[in-house]
Amino acid sequence: MSANPENLIAIFVMALAAMAAKGGGFVAMRWLGRHRFVSAMLQHAPGAVLASAAVVPLVQMGGAFIAGAVAGVVVTRLVGGLTGGLFAAVGAVALARWAGLP
């Protein structure tokens, strides 16, 4: 187990920066959340964040990822839970790769 003091300071600074980003939105909403527009925005933000987070890798990777996403959506709609959809999505990607999709 070895640790360089300069590296430890850098890691500490990084941890503080990460916590500032994570906690910043939470703290800011204590005041901003009272506004009607902001609370309406927060109703839409989770779905918009997830759609944004998913679409770029899907477009970039294509092929197997698209097959996985379709399987995930279909099984989630049919079964209604997280686990089934996840297994279907990951299994579809493995199958698609086995079938030669990139």
Question: Which residues in 27-66 contact other proteins (CB under 8 A)?
Answer: 27-30, 32-33, 36-60, 64-65
Q: Which of 15, 99, 100, 101 binds other proteins (CB under 8 A)?
A: 15
CB 63 → other proteins: shortest distance, Å? 11
14 binds other proteins (CB under 8 A): yes
Question: What contacts 65, CB < 8 A, 6 or more positions away?
Answer: 57, 58, 93
> Which residue type does 50 have?
L
CB 5 → other proteins: shortest distance, Å? 11
82 binds other proteins (CB under 8 A): yes
Angle, helices 36-61 vs 63-79, to 10°: value is 130
